[in-house]
């Protein structure tokens, strides 16, 4: 049982105990907050407080609890990737990569060592069987559904995964916690920041982690969609697609970040209507409901965690890539973020947004090997 010390994993553990499972609780230590150098105090899933909360829940429910130290692996695979993606002009979502390549892999290896059959988490999602495939399906609570961040899980992972909360609402889970006497966790504040950036300041984090970054990228050009120079900016890694605030440039009308060109340290600005696009590709394709998308499929596509799903067509280009054409233009499709494809409530697959129509494919960073 993966335990963060929060409400969801704690009640998931309680449910499984009631269902007759024998549990072993695992809390992962992924990051030392001192490494982030931010101003906010230690909070969230890796804090000492959360680890102690997880242990206390395990003790109260009568099963053993261990802390799994994966800081080296997490730093090597997740934190460095996060930095590299920003230096490539992308906007990453490290939680998705962490779920796919760190949490499940590390926890299933530990499960094997402990002779555990399954890995359970407190995610709001469901797993169903479709023919010979294991399928991730949306949770009952649409507002808390977390299928978007789980699209990278393999069939080998899914067949050994349990999501006890998937058929319940968050309000019901809070009620269960209160009735069970876990009032502290029932009212515990949820954390939405990236775990290794507790102050939610990714720009400050990049500056602290990449020596000389500010000096290297400061003074790049803002240009419009016709190439006209509009002014200077503070460095391309510090901007995101769709950003309007903080540009410090007066144009007489609102301007937005339309494209990031790291090779030339250029930020392309556009009017709001110029941010809308409909055709893009994804890489690192993972098919879940079907072994492959062997025909053009009409599906619903989410391009960011909290956005609605948009109808469109998806077809597979090769083993690693797919092309998507939405039925309508959508604002700020962002390279580096994930696109997840749904058939009704089921996840068909997903991938990382790569090339977007009407943008230049530019992935080589001018920062080079500076770290």
Active site residues: 98, 195
| Residue linked to tokens 């696109």 | 339
Give Cβ neighbours of residue 337 (< 8 Å, ≥ 6 apart). Answer: 91, 92, 93, 303, 304, 352, 353
Structure tokens, 362: 């530019």
Q: Residue 334: phi, psi to the nearest 5?
A: -115, 115
Neighbours of 151 (CB within 10 A): 27
* Cβ–Cβ under 8 Å, residues 177 and 186: yes
Closest residue by Cα to residue 160 from 213, 116, 216, 103? 116
Structure tokens, 346: 């089921």
> What SS3 class is residue 10?
helix
**What are the residue ranges of helices labelled H in the chain?**
7-18, 33-36, 48-61, 71-74, 80-87, 94-98, 104-113, 155-158, 170-179, 183-186, 202-209, 213-217
């Amino acid at each position: 049982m993966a335990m963060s010390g929060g409400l969801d994993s704690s009640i998931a553990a309680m449910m499984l105990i009631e269902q007759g499972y024998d549990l072993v609780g695992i809390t992962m230590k992924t990051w030392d907050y001192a490494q982030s150098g931010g101003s906010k105090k230690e909070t969230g899933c890796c804090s000492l407080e959360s680890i102690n909360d997880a242990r206390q829940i395990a003790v109260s429910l009568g099963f053993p609890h261990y802390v799994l130290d994966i800081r080296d692996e997490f730093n090597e695979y997740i934190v460095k990737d996060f930095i590299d993606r920003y230096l490539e002009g992308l906007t990453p979502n490290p939680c998705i990569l962490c779920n796919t390549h760190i949490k499940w892999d590390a926890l299933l290896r530990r499960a094997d060592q402990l002779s555990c059959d399954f890995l359970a988490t407190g995610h709001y999602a469901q797993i169903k069987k479709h023919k010979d495939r294991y399928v991730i399906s949306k949770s009952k609570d649409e507002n808390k559904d977390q299928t978007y961040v789980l699209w990278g899980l393999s069939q080998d992972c899914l067949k050994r995964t349990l999501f006890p909360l998937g058929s319940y609402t968050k309000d019901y889970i809070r009620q269960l916690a209160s009735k069970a006497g876990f009032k502290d966790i029932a009212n515990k504040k949820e954390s939405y920041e990236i775990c290794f950036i507790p102050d939610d300041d990714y720009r400050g984090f990049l500056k602290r982690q990449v020596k000389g970054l500010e000096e290297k990228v400061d003074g790049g050009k803002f240009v419009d969609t016709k190439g006209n120079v509009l002014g200077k900016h503070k460095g391309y890694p510090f901007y995101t697609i769709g950003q309007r605030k903080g540009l410090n440039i007066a144009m007489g009308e609102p301007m937005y970040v339309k494209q990031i060109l790291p090779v030339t340290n250029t930020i392309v600005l556009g009017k709001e209507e110029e941010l809308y696009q409909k055709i893009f590709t994804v890489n690192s394709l993972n098919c879940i409901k079907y072994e492959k998308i062997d025909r053009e499929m009409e599906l619903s596509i989410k391009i960011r965690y909290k956005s609605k799903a948009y109808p469109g067509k998806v077809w597979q280009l090769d083993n690693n890539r797919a092309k998507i054409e939405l039925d309508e233009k959508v604002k700020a499709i962002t390279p580096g973020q994930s696109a997840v494809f749904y058939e009704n409530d089921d996840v068909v697959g997903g991938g990382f947004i790569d090339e977007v129509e009407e943008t230049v494919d530019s992935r080589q960073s001018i920062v080079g090997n500076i770290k």
